[in-house]
Structure 1
């Protein structure tokens, strides 16, 4: 019996070993390396010296960092609630018995498997001031077209719309899986009692879907704080609206890879990790309170 137990332990460790090794090499070790490099003046050619908290003191005094933080928080504030709300509505609609439901599910999921580069290029064409489809539609109604990606006042919101559109498919599939896990008998009992679709949605669907919504919220929140690709490909550094759309990750990229201030870039990455960690812990605490309530 003891021999079988030892063999089970051996096989268990052999199975999880590759994953643990991969996590250590590609995630855990680089994390501590990055933290150490944030305390150095690491440059382009790998030479560095230990400078303590100088990079963090520089961050505190850096107005561009605060601008990037503001843009990122604005991005999260709009993209997370609106994106999840739209995903829930679409998931509920696609969970009902409608004609061609499989086609619509595939249609909504397509952006989730589309390369961000392709998404950015298509939306850049749609937003184009001279010949973009969006402005052409507005002209049909006598409304003057906008410089969607070069106007500092609206460029960030234009990117947020694209990000919401791109995230709906992935969130919708997860929420749809959660919806299909809700027993039908609850809806049947509510229907017998005379409850309508709206009442069933708020009294049955939302409470039972809350764990799935929480998971989607956390994942969307983290990905929103890490926004980079759409801003990089749709806006660009030479765009007049760059300052008003630059996110923390873009600011990290600019310092670490374009200005070759890798130590300072590492400090930005550490600050971003701390922000995401704090807000994720807050979400976990709120979820526990809601469950206990």
Structure 2
């Protein structure tokens, strides 16, 4: 029985099961935090727009609620050429061993931070067709979540840590990598650790956590990728010579990563709430 349990655990790790993965649990939690903390009129506007989700014509990928919308951008990936143009919008892997800059790391505006900005503008534009607004809302909810998973914002030229092999506690199948750990096992551990994250936050905390620009948030996630995600798995400075070929997160390291992950999810939710309030509120005057 013990061997069977370990085999099943390894299989879940390799396949990044939706039940565990950040792409579902993390995204849905960020969306729920945002929905709980937006203005009432924003919440009503979100509900009205998502009531039109049938216009997307993706019956296998519904977006009836903000939680469903939060994973829509991943759900549509298997639909092939119809949405292949959006693939590069999920990340902006800025090299953690070089100074931070988005210049050159967001070719032709095809990266997560640029698309977040576009989606807000699409939602603010009354001339945009309803179908495009529903899509912009689903993309926005998802991409703010992506930006707050550090390995979507910084890497070492290894596809966001997908090529960085690493062990997670006692689990160490050959294909397990740093990206999967942060997407799945660590996200599940952190979000399920009490107290619950989906609550109404005090106004002061909402303002403090949602401050800054999208570029500021990008830099912050990039730094977390370098100083926390890679450093914790590879024993310090991930850009030094002699970095181990395979990383390792033992129980103590995992415990230390719970709070940073919970903080990122909370930041993502409250920052998404701010952007949604801006998207559905009065359009700011042009500068």
Q: TM-score, normalised by structure 1?
A: 0.30
Structure with the greater alpha carbon radius of gyration? 1
More helix per residue: 1 or 2? 1
Q: TM-score, normalised by structure 2?
A: 0.31
